[in-house]
Structure 1
Amino acid sequence: MTRANWFENLDKTDLVIALAEHFGDLNMIHPFREGNGRAQRILFEHIIANAGYETNWWAVEEAEWIKSNIDAVLCDYSGLASIFSRCVGATLILD
């Protein structure tokens, strides 16, 4: 992610693709016994905010989320990309 400059200056389309791939890959290592998904969502909320966008997870259905994460195991990130395209919202306005 360092080489990606924490996704700063990416347009929304490129950001969504990068988020899907990184989320899917990170999900495979499960660093915690419990709470992986919650910890990852918090991390990605910060990454998305750093990239300059709002986040809203309410557009995600549980069954779609589970299937998309399973598909990502085989490097099919299209489901996660679809989810992130709905969850990554408007550009943040920072003063």
Structure 2
Amino acid sequence: ISRGQRPVGDDVDVINLFAATPDIPPALAGGRRQAGRSHARASQALSVMAREVIGLFATDRADRIRECSADDCHLVFYDESRSNNRRWCSMQRCGNRAKVRAHRARLR
């Protein structure tokens, strides 16, 4: 999606499969009795993530999914900037490194 491609059918099937499995149920802290499992299973965590992906891809917001512009980073992020032009996954990490490199190049 970050490259303008749509997911293939097999990938969509995997996302839909995990989205259909039970997710992590909400629970209030502080009770003396504990219902159900105390540790989440990997499939439950994947279920939560799959539902988030479906919510994101099913709307017109999918064009805000970007790949980080840093050469040494392969992360994908959701651009929440008002102007829809964010370049790096994190300004504190990749953005800062790129700006430091550009600054040093200008000093040479």
TM over 0.5: no
TM-score normalised by length of structure 2: 0.22
TM-score normalised by length of structure 1: 0.24
Q: Name which structure has the greater RCO, CA cutoff 8 Å, separation 6+.
A: 1
Higher helix share: 1
